[in-house]
Amino acid sequence: MEAEVIESNILLPQHLNFKRVQVSEKYPKGQARGRHWKHLKQILQAENYQACSPDEPTYVNIETPPSKYPSKKFCDITGCEARYIDPRTNLRYANTDVFKHIRILPNEYVQRYLTLRNAAVVLK
């Protein structure tokens, strides 16, 4: 069949799209096969952290200033993001089903939920 193609002077592309490329063709010797991940020690050696000011947060100094944005409020029962606060118990809740559950809770359980959030208040 190759003799017929050569005699007919048909030009074929060097790489056919439907053929699988061998790994050895794709990555010759000495080239990396994928993304090279650096360890923290390699990052610290590559960067010049002695030139940075001590107030600037880096990999070495993880202390950062407080956030500019307000902290998120989470539901005391489910852990979902809470949009509402029960005025009677001061518990945060996410939806009406949780609100119904909060209203039937005994006062002792409400106090436990509030102490978990460090907002313990003696309710009357």
Closest CA to 73 of 84, 65, 63: 84
pLDDT per residue rounded down to tens, the chain (124 residues): 566 655 666 666 666 666 565 655 556 665 556 667 788 777 777 777 777 777 777 766 666 778 889 989 999 999 999 999 999 999 999 999 999 999 999 999 999 999 988 886 665 5
Q: Which two tokens stand for residue 69?
A: 């944005």
The residue type at 72? K
Instruction: Tell me the Cα Rg of the chain.
Output: 32
Q: Tell whether pTM > 0.75.
A: no
